[in-house]
Structure 1
């Protein structure tokens, strides 16, 4: 399972996209925690090689790692209060583009309806006592996220960041003529 693999490789947080509903969130979150809290496997060879096995290893890992559910499907949006209430879900992440698409509005254009959806997710996370975060590439969205107390924001994805860096490098190279 990619969730366990990411945590086994040393990730502290996994943010899982396309969560569909509370049962999907419960199942996915279980992969992030060792028994009795979840179903994450131990992998003794990996543990012994990387960190050394200790009697409290599973307990320490369960305390160290975090599972964030992305709210970006209409089903998850409708079920988000129950998702946020799960003990294995440590926070909510707003996926604005996919959420707007699955809610029938097309790609997110920061419409009043989009803003209302974001506010509802934020309010749900806060009411559950959990942090929230979001994709905030646009300055207006970044400002709102910071003002509303986002735990973190993403300002770009890896491909866009590489493309932007390459475009800057090419422009600089052309200016060097």
Structure 2
């Protein structure tokens, strides 16, 4: 698990990803065929469930694509079940403190780090690979806390100092909202704050991820040194492409634009 992604980390290269919000497993299949480094299946927002996650994981089989899940909360059930169906790690939302990181570790890791229970589900190939998976999961799984509130920023050094943190992911929209700029992607001061998080994480050898809003933004994030850059979401990219083509064509149908 996560071998290609970690090799990008080790080489100080940017790993490009995709945010998955659709249940269509073909999205993940195509991402793997295109050589995307990682995807994040989003359960925090939208309607995806564990059956959908299993479909995406099956589509990724045979590739070196890292499949991460953003659970809807920091609770036991969504973290445990995402891992049991075979996720390669989690991107944990709304982490405010190092104590929250350590509490989530209890659900994420097997003993002695945590207290994740041992089951016979898809992650262990229905029990056929249980010994190998259990022996290696604590080292192979990837735990990525999201830094997306002012409180998280205030506690950043303690969060970054938590054991086994290899990467953090930024949420500029929620960070902006927590600072009073609701509905803005990078509200006043957030762009500089993001770069400060990036710098402080790099000083500890920790990679930082962010979602790019378009191609120039992705290019800029690479230049800034972000280790994980999402090219966007599946539906968002479709909208972006349709909007771009429709604009260039000046296309209208029955008096309404396509976007």
The change in CA–CA distance for 1:74 and 1:11 in structure 2 (over 3 A counts) is same
Q: Which runs of 5+ in 2 are unaligned?
A: 1-76, 253-259
2:54 aligns to what? none
2:183 aligns to what? 107
Q: Give how far 1:163 is off.
A: 4.4
Q: Give how far 1:161 is off.
A: 3.7
Q: Give secondary structure in 2 for the equivalent of 1:31.
A: helix
Q: Give how far 1:58 is off.
A: 2.3
- Equivalent residues in 2 for 1:29-44 (5 A)? 29-44=105-120
Q: Does the Cα contact within 8 Å between 2:93 and 2:146 map onto a contact in 1? A: yes
Q: Does the Cα contact within 8 Å between 1:135 and 1:155 map onto a contact in 2? A: yes
1:49 aligns with 2:88: no
Q: Give how far 1:80 is off.
A: 1.2
1:17 aligns with 2:104: no
State the alpha-carbon separation in 2 of the partners of residues 168 and 144 from structure 1.
Answer: 20
Q: Give secondary structure in 2 for the equivalent of 1:155.
A: strand
2:221 aligns to what? 145
The change in CA–CA distance for 1:51 and 1:124 in structure 2 (over 3 A counts) is farther
The change in CA–CA distance for 1:162 and 1:117 in structure 2 (over 3 A counts) is same
1:136 aligns with 2:181: no
Q: Does the Cα contact within 8 Å between 1:73 and 1:102 map onto a contact in 2? A: yes
Q: Give how far 1:116 is off.
A: 1.2
State the alpha-carbon separation in 2 of the partners of residues 160 and 101 from structure 1.
Answer: 21
Q: Does the Cα contact within 8 Å between 1:92 and 1:130 map onto a contact in 2? A: yes
State the alpha-carbon separation in 2 of the partners of residues 127 and 30 from structure 1.
Answer: 27
Q: Deviation string for 1:36-92 (max 9, x for gaps)?
A: 1122221145536154221x5323111111000100011111111111111143311
Compare the two structures and name the one with the higher strand fraction.
2
TM-score by length of 2: 0.58
Q: Which runs of 5+ in 1 are unaligned?
A: none
Q: How many positions carry a matched residue from both structures? A: 174
Q: Does the Cα contact within 8 Å between 1:26 and 1:88 map onto a contact in 2? A: no
1:65 aligns with 2:141: yes
Cα RMSD for the two superposed structures: 2.9
The change in CA–CA distance for 1:140 and 1:102 in structure 2 (over 3 A counts) is farther
Compare the two structures and name the one with the higher helix fraction.
1
